[in-house]
Homo-oligomer: A and B are copies of this chain.
Amino acid sequence: MALPELVLTGYPPEDLLLKPAFINKNLEYLEKVKELTENLLVIFGFVGKTNETFNSAAIIFNKKLLAIYNKQHLSNYSVFDEERYFRKGEKNILLKFKENLIGINICEDIYCAEGPTKIQAILGGAELIINISASPYHIKKVHEREKMLHARAIDSRACILYVNIVGGQDELVFDGNSIILNAEGDIIARCAPFEEDFLVYDLDLEEVQSIRLKDAKFKNQRLELLKSEITEPKIIKIPFGELKKPSIKKTPNRQVAGKSTTLAYNNLISCKEEEILKALILGTKDYLHKNRFKKAVLGLSGGVDSALCAVIACFALGNENVTGVLMPSMFSSKESIDDSILLAKNLKINYLQIPITQIYFSYIENLKDIFKSEEINLTKENVQARIRGNILMALSNEFGWLVLSAGNKSEISVGYCTLYGDMVGGLSPLKDIYKTEVYKLCNFINQKFNNLIPKSILTRAPTAELKPNQKDEDSLPPYDILDQIIKSYIENDMDYDYVVNNLGFPAEIVKKVIKMIDSSEYKRRQGPPGIKITQRASGKDRRYPITNKFSEY
């Protein structure tokens, strides 16, 4: 049985790794798990500790710790900081399992083409590689990962058992998607994506040797590896002797248990929108439940963002655990209010109406001698947004509901949002979803669930309704243009010149957007965590100084 990387502690444990008590508790649980392994081979991730700290795999058989493998290639980019905590492992391990050899490695190890997998398989002769992982989701990640595993199976001519964490932790969602590949790189078994699963598979390793015998290239690779001074992996024998062989009834496809019965990911997840929704729902559910919240509250503005956020909350928590709050002002249109009520009814969620007009005027009354004019300027817009923030937080304090902030990646990137206003919340589920993608997700939901989101929410021009006749496009370029600029600049690290030349938008628009992105870093720093969906989210994935004079424009 194989379980994921650092499964005992959750991934990433971050600075908890600096606490002796945390490491010790993890070692205590290693002992507890050991006691549960009668007649069982179990491989799982934990924090290894000598004088140094390691990202380790325990290899346990029948209540005995046979060996520990330490991760050799530490992940230290994007959201990962493993070099801060762990020492690199230096030894390869092979497990002798009856007639077969099994190589063990951890996550990033298998991404490295000339790394542990090849050494264990080609130099050591392992027919099966077990890789335990904590590989977080982003768009296209499943495809990229499986392409890599396919290549690694072929170039090491070994079966691969790839086991990934499933679930959410803070900004990360782990998509599971554990798979088994044969030595020709075909996926021969698959766990369900975005949910817990337990797969039992009776693997035939005999065919690996016959494939290898036919492969001339294979022998040359072995020579190449030997030339490069790599030590032979250490072989640990499983003390099988006294135990009877576990009996598994064979089936034609050799898979005897597990939720997923298809090998093709596309049969499980029909399109990008379904995949993203599953990630958002899992991330939201786990953030709340693991932090011991059962219920959530969010403002319903009549816009697409709060509509999508409400749908996600219902799928994640159950509609009986979601409360929507309408907080109309004198600038709210009848359509927004009607749509919000209709949405709440469609979703069968509890909703409250708390108008902010009177509260707003009491601020204006007390500040009128100080304000420069009576005009509804940015100051007064923000006062309204912050009144709503205060009301949502009051409900949170009073009833223990977690506030969901509905802001999307487009507006958070350019700072078109009010700090301590609409940015208030424990979680910001759409933080990494572009506005154009918000529409796509809403349309997908409406197709699948018979227009759950009122159509007029999707057709009305986006507006913050913080002053009369306000439209987002008064302050921002159209979202299809804006999103392309943000994607180029943030996700792809393109320079200003390159964005202008590559996308062909007017320099003035690009300049304005980049300037807005750069100058709103301070807002993002204080926003709630969101769920990583794109290749570059904000938060731990994009670490910018607030104070820096650099500018390209």
Interface of A with B (CB < 8 Å)?
Answer: 9-10, 12-16, 18-22, 25, 76-77, 81, 83-84, 168-170, 286-287, 290-291, 352, 354-356, 358-359, 361-363, 365-367, 370-372, 377-380, 382-383, 386-387, 389-391, 393-395, 397-398, 419-420, 424, 426, 493, 495-497, 522, 525-529, 542-550, 552
Contacts and interface: CB of A to CB of B under 8 A. Distances in A.
A352 B370 contact: yes
12 contacts: A13-B545, A16-B545, A21-B495, A170-B545, A170-B546, A290-B547, A291-B547, A359-B366, A367-B391, A386-B386, A387-B390, A420-B424
A21 B382 contact: no
A495 B19 contact: yes
Given A363-B390, A528-B526, A547 B22 contact: no
Nearest to A392: B420
B546 A529 contact: yes
B548 A10 contact: yes
B358 A370 contact: no
A33 to B, nearest CB: 16
Given A390-B363, A398-B370, A19 B493 contact: yes
Contacts of A286: 547
Contacts of A363: 359, 390-391, 394
Taking the full assembly, how many copies of this chain does it contain?
2
A15 B544 contact: yes
B546 A20 contact: no
Nearest to A381: B397
Contacts of A379: 394, 397-398
B545 A12 contact: yes
A93 to B, nearest CB: 26
Given A77-B84, A379-B394, A393-B382, A10 B528 contact: no
Most chain B Cβ neighbours within 10 Å, of A83, A287, A527? A83
Given A358-B365, A379-B398, A18 B493 contact: yes
A372 B398 contact: yes
A291 B390 contact: no
